[in-house]
Structure 1
């Protein structure tokens, strides 16, 4: 009886373990299959949406004024090209859209055979009333937007990809693929998973060992070419008893262009062909790996091996790698020798140097340690910046804008500073990390709120800088809209926009300027003279003032042409009612020359350095005056 009860318990435990494992395995297969299907779908959609722009042509969306922008015959020709393209990619539709007064219109669209039979072709400037919120938001996005949608044409997975025409209009290219058969594919996968799982658990030892072996193989193999991958490389380096080895990383410089033109399938074929050719040419003492989509590695225990250089020279000859279509490739390589623990990092630095300098082969040397130190320095800066944001150590420092005689303060500019461990960091130290970390909006909010706290209860005027990313961020625009409503004297606030960014994003910037000026705030163009320097374009933005860049101001004493240019701008600004400010004033000679040119207001270290309190600024101004 004891053994019987014990056996029953083991059967129950084994059954429970089997069912739990089966459920886990089925769930894994389900999610893995779903992700793979959707990843493939999204890749096809992205490729299609990018291609629509080239099918239509660069100037297709320029200067659209209404339905008569393109004649009926040319539109049908474009539709036919799009339809043939959609059919080749097995997509339902590819199209382009424009936005007019919050209404979405088609500017181009493919069609299906059913559309022809039912006379449901989409024509130029047809309204798309089923446009979703994601569809409309995509016009203000900086990257692709994916969504599931259902309308009169069916149930789709869609992509919207924003572009900008030459006249500044934002338009979308898009693609749809039907996904009604997704559940059927998943159900088939689940059924197969259950059968496989049952078989697996009934013969656990044999199948389990085989499964583990296959799993290890898959983890160390590139799925598209079958060659060993970066995991296999790292394992090989770790397991090799020798301490010193040589690693060459070969970069296919133009693979991304090949993929963007011919598609990812041809890109994978190119890499498979290249790897196969290298595999035949290499000696038995070399190991071959595919590191990433466009990088290959050759590992050898011989430190002074020149085999890699010879192979690259042979492959870089003017002969096609593929003949259908004709594909030519350009290779470069970085080679590192020495301590195996540093091989991969050093070889990567060398190949990046080869790519930048357009050299065939670059050998890693001690001279490149500065690049490695720069990487480490960037990591440290990123860590410091995150800590500064998390511990509220980002502050606004204030610098006055004064009259040339120093007797009048026009306004104070709020400038971002980080103060950590009694050390003050200026934007040159941290701004690139802030941009790369997508923390621009957070920094802008901090500086704005710091300025609001300092000036809300005063009648003083103040300004702050905004980037194009700030103005293109809908959430930040909504933030300013709400804050300006609550600020008692918004007419005392000035937003400074960089000239090149403002003109390059004209329509979006114009909308932002209209919003802030509706509240009474002012807008200046900053760094004038470094970019387009086209005053007519700037005036179309309806700005209130211009700040001349310090690079021009610093030359006014020695360069007569710069003096005449600034004098002309000052005269023009006076005629059209613009406030003109010269930045970066460092000495009395520059101040006098600016006053001679007709500049009334200046900003720079000659009068006062940025300070955390207004009292410090006023104290420094008084000291300079005396």
Structure 2
């Protein structure tokens, strides 16, 4: 029994009990034997705590008869989230049928009230030992240890040297070849990892669907040697297809490497850096300022939520002028956050965070509402950016269409700019959106054309009115011949198909003259004016 209880010191439990006196007595005992405790007064609160802290919770102890949601209902919902979590029920009843239901939904053990604390601790230890040998720590598909086992193995280990291996765009493989072939690929990929990283020196884990961990068990392994092995593995994977049935499947990987007690957390972050910088293998270092970034992200999420509630988002408007006459043709609505001191903050600081926090769909509605205010009050033509995510979101699209319906007499003055720099996976959705908004007389353009890979064929398949050329091609066009050739090509192509062209980032007379010489129809940039407020127009 001593061995069973000794394993409790490193676990986190969720304890649900509605009877206050019993809850306090039991909790006082558990505090002395377990690392951390989350406590709930009923099943609903227990479920909410599990949803919030599921990555930390190792075991659940719950009463059955509780208000709001009983213990068995809570267990059913928790098992849908994590079928492998160990669960012990405490009950005042010994009804066989009742207990059989608990067993059917995945309860490991039960203990009758009044609770014998010594027996409860013993049962907890037995349950954990049982699950350690089964699904709690093993990935069923690859039979590799899973994320739970990784976190257990590296807890408080300051010498951890770890690589996180991410299969790039694995969801595309499932879409192309089917999930069964995708599963088989993961099995084969796990075997290749085992082949490269010897089990006597390294331990391999499957952490998520397309993420694997490699951790050194030999503390004498040097970081540079480990990095070179990861580079070699990445190159081998890229050079050799994986054979699944009759399919030869090509894959690429991105690998993040980190050391120390927080290696797992840092490898997750460095993967993102590596992908942004198009590097296949990257080692984390302190210059990444992870904690500062996280704190800044959390601060901005709160700011964005408050801004949506308190109307602190505003549209600022940058004029777009006729290249020949320099008269203002329309304004582009640009998002700004109005800070406490009244200053306008650029979206560069918060837009990506808004998208990751699923708050961006609300912002497009704010921008459209602001645009209609300018159109109505000052009879100005306004262009608003819309993302591919906005277009494919049924909820967002319905709200956009409702705004157009409610402002039909003004929609002919509204234009949409679809961001070409974003990945568009469903052109039919974009085509349908263009048809729908054109019914209201809106004009449609493609923004950021020329940023990265640009598809001329896409332009011919979309019923658009204009193309906005990305600022990266305009910024030094007066000095760089290659950029002049590319912009001239876009201009001639657009004229052939009847699109107007807009050059952004026109910041000097020299750039303006070159853009005008090439024949671009409209210009936008600081040479003409910065983004200005509604009141300044």
CA distance in 2 between counterparts of 1:303 and 1:197 reads: 38
Q: Is the contact made by 2:161 and 2:223 (CA closer than 8 Å) also made in structure 1?
A: no
Report the CA distance between 1:557 and its aligned residue: 2.5
CA distance in 2 between counterparts of 1:198 and 1:370 reads: 45
Report the CA distance between 1:592 and its aligned residue: 2.5
Q: Is it true that 1:201 corresponds to 2:112 in the alignment?
A: yes
Choose the corresponding residue for 2:207, options 278, 289, 292.
Answer: 292
Q: Is it true that 1:493 corresponds to 2:414 in the alignment?
A: yes
Q: Is it true that 1:222 corresponds to 2:134 in the alignment?
A: no
CA distance in 2 between counterparts of 1:272 and 1:210 reads: 38
Choose the corresponding residue for 1:336, options 236, 259, 269.
Answer: 259
Larger Rg: 1
Q: Give SS of 2:434's match.
A: helix
> Which residue number corresponds to residue 418 of structure 1?
337
Q: Is the contact made by 2:387 and 2:419 (CA closer than 8 Å) also made in structure 1?
A: yes
CA distance in 2 between counterparts of 1:533 and 1:350 reads: 28
Report the CA distance between 1:565 and its aligned residue: 6.0
CA distance in 1 between counterparts of 2:158 and 2:320 reads: 61
- Counterparts of 1:55-94 in structure 2, within 5 Å, are none
CA distance in 1 between counterparts of 2:508 and 2:265 reads: 47
- Counterparts of 1:135-174 in structure 2, within 5 Å, are none
Report the CA distance between 1:496 and its aligned residue: 1.5
CA distance in 1 between counterparts of 2:254 and 2:381 reads: 58
1:1-36 per-residue CA deviation (whole Å, 9 max, x = no partner) reads xxxxxxxxxxxxxxxx99848x95554555556667
> Which residue number corresponds to residue 509 of structure 1?
430
> Which residue number corresponds to residue 482 of structure 1?
402
Q: Is the contact made by 1:29 and 1:190 (CA closer than 8 Å) also made in structure 2?
A: no
Change (3 A) 1:215 1:453: farther
CA distance in 1 between counterparts of 2:382 and 2:147 reads: 54
CA distance in 2 between counterparts of 1:443 and 1:251 reads: 34
Q: Is the contact made by 1:298 and 1:308 (CA closer than 8 Å) also made in structure 2?
A: no
> Which residue number corresponds to residue 595 of structure 1?
516
> Which residue number corresponds to residue 449 of structure 2?
528
Q: Is the contact made by 1:219 and 1:231 (CA closer than 8 Å) also made in structure 2?
A: no
- Counterparts of 1:220-259 in structure 2, within 5 Å, are 221-224=136-139, 245-251=158-164
Q: Is it true that 1:467 corresponds to 2:383 in the alignment?
A: no
Choose the corresponding residue for 1:457, options 355, 372, 377.
Answer: 377
> Which residue number corresponds to residue 322 of structure 2?
403
Q: Give SS of 1:581's match.
A: strand
Q: Is the contact made by 1:247 and 1:297 (CA closer than 8 Å) also made in structure 2?
A: no
Choose the corresponding residue for 1:190, options 80, 93, 101.
Answer: 101
Gaps of 5+ in 2: 1-61, 86-96, 237-243, 246-251
- Counterparts of 1:410-449 in structure 2, within 5 Å, are 410-422=329-341, 423-449=343-369
Q: Is the contact made by 1:554 and 1:585 (CA closer than 8 Å) also made in structure 2?
A: yes
RMSD of equivalent CA atoms: 5.5
Q: Give SS of 2:318's match.
A: strand
Report the CA distance between 1:527 and its aligned residue: 2.6
Report the CA distance between 1:494 and its aligned residue: 1.3
Change (3 A) 1:190 1:606: same
1:201-247 per-residue CA deviation (whole Å, 9 max, x = no partner) reads 28964753442223444676515479987667767877x7xxx8311
Q: Is it true that 1:212 corresponds to 2:124 in the alignment?
A: yes
Gaps of 5+ in 1: 1-16, 40-185, 319-323, 618-626
CA distance in 1 between counterparts of 2:63 and 2:387 reads: 58
CA distance in 2 between counterparts of 1:427 and 1:600 reads: 27
CA distance in 2 between counterparts of 1:550 and 1:280 reads: 51
Report the CA distance between 1:420 and its aligned residue: 1.6
CA distance in 2 between counterparts of 1:216 and 1:33 reads: 16
Report the CA distance between 1:444 and its aligned residue: 0.7
Change (3 A) 1:253 1:572: closer
Q: Give SS of 1:245's match.
A: coil
> Which residue number corresponds to residue 167 of structure 1?
none
Change (3 A) 1:553 1:198: closer
| TM-score normalised per structure 1 | 0.54
1:89-120 per-residue CA deviation (whole Å, 9 max, x = no partner) reads xxxxxxxxxxxxxxxxxxxxxxxxxxxxxxxx
Report the CA distance between 1:559 and its aligned residue: 4.4
Q: Is the contact made by 2:375 and 2:410 (CA closer than 8 Å) also made in structure 1?
A: no
1:386-435 per-residue CA deviation (whole Å, 9 max, x = no partner) reads 44334322110001112336652211111111222334322322222222
CA distance in 2 between counterparts of 1:363 and 1:568 reads: 41
Q: Is the contact made by 2:315 and 2:333 (CA closer than 8 Å) also made in structure 1?
A: yes
Count of aligned residue pairs for this structure pair: 435
> Which residue number corresponds to residue 163 of structure 1?
none
1:539-576 per-residue CA deviation (whole Å, 9 max, x = no partner) reads 44332223233233334433456556656765676676
CA distance in 1 between counterparts of 2:137 and 2:453 reads: 48
Change (3 A) 1:26 1:465: closer
Q: Give SS of 2:396's match.
A: helix
| TM-score normalised per structure 2 | 0.62
Q: Give SS of 2:444's match.
A: strand
Report the CA distance between 1:517 and its aligned residue: 1.2
CA distance in 2 between counterparts of 1:525 and 1:269 reads: 42
Change (3 A) 1:373 1:291: farther
1:477-523 per-residue CA deviation (whole Å, 9 max, x = no partner) reads 32232222332222111112234659764322221111111111212
